[in-house]
Amino acid sequence: MDGLSAFPVIRARQVDGRCVGRLETAALDDIDGGEVLIRVACSGINYKDALAVTGSAPVMRRLPCIAGIEAVGSVVESADPRFAAGDEVLVHGLGLGVDRDGGWSAYLRVPGDWVMPRPEGLSAFEAATIGVAGYTAALAIHRMEHNGLAPGQGPVVVTGATGGVASLGIAMLAAAGYEVAAITGKDDAHDYLRGLGAAQVLPRSAVEPPGKPLRRAQWAGALDSVGGETLPWLMSTMREGAAIAVFGNAAGSAYSGNVLPLLLRGVQLLGINANSPMPLRRLVWSRIAGDLRPQGLQAIGQRVHIEDVVRTCERQMRGQIRGRSVLGFA
């Protein structure tokens, strides 16, 4: 098969005691096995990926390892009868790019149980722009709605608003009819966020330092990608019975909040783990291609060549990336 003897990958290795990602060439015999061989078209560049290949955190449990926690592409061959050559598919999480070779490779082999069809109506680039980030946002919205959130109850606030998950969350909430308030520390991003559907954009200074356990109740729901001192403030400003979906810790993983919002207002704290079972994945992805389909994907997704992936990860660690960077092979 053409191209299988020499194709580009971003492989992380241990160098001087530190994980370092580099552009290399691989052959099919060099990558992990699995029932389904996929020719990768696109793969999103996530914060977790950036942590790994820049050596910023010990994300990878195996070295050397090809990076990339997601991939969108087409089946080349399959020993799993559920898939056939030519099927358009996607895969994310489940150890990809962490303890087995991931999606920053022109070819990828994975277990059949990890693979799902690419939803109809989404191109490969659109699906990768959404990717695990968009899946996380959609799963957060899905779980908040399961816990009582509905349009018309009041504004839903999104922190760290220019990040990939948050940007897609804003667009999905707006598509579903919610009033969205976006919080960002980037003064030049207001037009971008309003273009995604944010009804109001607030500066980072709107987040007050820890202190009062209960403040003026403002939000019907929240998507939090920041954590740190932002989460206690969110807890203190939620309306009765409102839910906060937590999926990030950009400002720190320690939590020093107060239980009074939980006890006196019934605030719900929902942890979002994107490594969810396949039936839930299929359900949430069907919503992403349907009622939660985000507008403005062309503004959110920026194509990156494989030669520029590591530099893009370094910029992401410096907070210089807006929206989603997408590695494109085709």
- 46-92 residue pLDDT tens: 999 999 999 998 999 999 999 999 999 999 999 999 999 999 999 99
pLDDT computed for residue 3 by the predictor = 67
Of 241, 250, 91, 256, which is closest to residue 162 (Cα–Cα)? 250
Tokens representing 127 are 């699906």
DSSP secondary structure letter of residue 208 = P
Cα-Cα-Cα-Cα torsion 77, 82, 87, 88, nearest 10 degrees, comes to: -120
Q: Is 29 exposed, middle or buried (0-12, 13-18, 19+ CB in 10 A)?
A: exposed
pLDDT computed for residue 118 by the predictor = 98
Assess contact for 37 and 77: CB atoms under 8 A: yes
Ordered domains of the chain (ranges, CATH)? 7-118+296-328 (3.90.180.10), 133-271 (3.40.50.720)
In the predicted model, what is the mean pLDDT of residues 207-219? Answer: 92
Assess contact for 95 and 114: CB atoms under 8 A: no
Of 311, 304, 308, which is closest to residue 329 (Cα–Cα)? 304
pLDDT above 60: residue 1: no
Assess contact for 41 and 103: CB atoms under 8 A: no
How confident is the model over 224-282, as pLDDT tens digits? 999 899 999 999 999 999 999 999 887 788 888 899 999 999 999 999 999 999 999 99
pLDDT computed for residue 2 by the predictor = 56
Coil, strand, or helix at residue 287? helix
Separation between Cα atoms, residue 239 and residue 26, nearest integer Å: 53
pLDDT band at residue 161 using 50, 70 and 90 as cut-offs: very high
Average pLDDT across the chain, whole number: 94
pLDDT computed for residue 210 by the predictor = 78
